[in-house]
Amino acid sequence: MKRFLTILITMLCAAGALAQGPPPHAPVESVTVSGNGRASLTPDRFTFSVGVQTVAPTVDDAVAENNRRVQNVIAALKRAGAADKDIQTTNFNIYPQQEYGEGRLPRILGYQVNNSVTVRSTKIGDAGRLLGIAIAAGVNTSSGLNFEVSDPSRGREQGLKAAFDDAKAKASLLAQAAGRTLGRALLISEGTQPYNPPQPMMRAMAMEAKASQDVPVEAGTQELAFAITVTFELR
């Protein structure tokens, strides 16, 4: 009986030790920092919007004149090599031209018609030539020229590596200031990528040109931004 009680007590002690588990480890000391990186890429696509604005005493006359000039612009762009898929109508408006006087209702003097087309292409070298052709064909308004990077992932590796290097440099500086050394990266998360707007490259454009002249433009480079957050071990 005594032997049975001894065995039972031993088993209960062992079970209690197992239930308690191993002693908890000391928490890992760490530092969390953010890092930013950038990648410069050469644009491989451009877009520009040009339009025709006409004014006439009647809606029919304003629309007819506008249609004729816009058709000339589109035809000229296609002859110059722009494909159907590269040309898109993006705006069409009719506005009454009104005269206001004190004490009386506005009087309609005529009508203004605006029609805009947007041209997109991956042939960067054609940007200035197509702009010049559009001007010569009759456009008299423009909302600008943008050069873009069609696939931002081309700069992801470069940008994320630069962001990590930035974060590690910050963490090393903080660890040194605290009298510690930097250990391994424990956690890495990618932050929200800031918006990288297309770069407008055209400053001004002379309207009502009489002959086709290439508009001088430069594609330059587009800078993409990347952000990460890293937690490093402190030793």
Q: The CATH number of the domain where 59 resides is what?
A: 3.30.70.2970
Residues near 113 by beta carbon (within 8 Å), at least 6 away in sequence: 53, 54, 55, 56, 59, 62, 63, 65, 66, 92, 93, 94, 95
Residue range(s) defining the domain that contains residue 59 = 43-150
CA quadruple 148, 151, 157, 163: dihedral positive or negative? positive
10-35 average pLDDT score: 65
In angstroms, the CA 120 to CA 126 distance is 10
179-196 average pLDDT score: 81
Supply the DSSP symbol for 85: G
Q: How confident is the model at residue 153 (pLDDT cuts 50, 70, 90)?
A: confident
Report if residue 62 sits inside a domain. Answer: yes
pLDDT at 162: 95
Report if residue 78 sits inside a domain. Answer: yes
Report if residue 232 sits inside a domain. Answer: no
In angstroms, the CA 134 to CA 72 distance is 9
Amino acid identity, position 222: Q
Digit-coded pLDDT (tens) for 98-122? 888 887 888 889 999 999 999 999 9
pLDDT at 9: 43
For the chain, what is the mean pLDDT?
83
In angstroms, the CA 218 to CA 221 distance is 9
In this structure, the strands spanning 222-234 and 182-190 are antiparallel
Report if residue 193 sits inside a domain. Answer: no
pLDDT at 20: 54
224-232 average pLDDT score: 93
Number of domains the chain is built from: 1
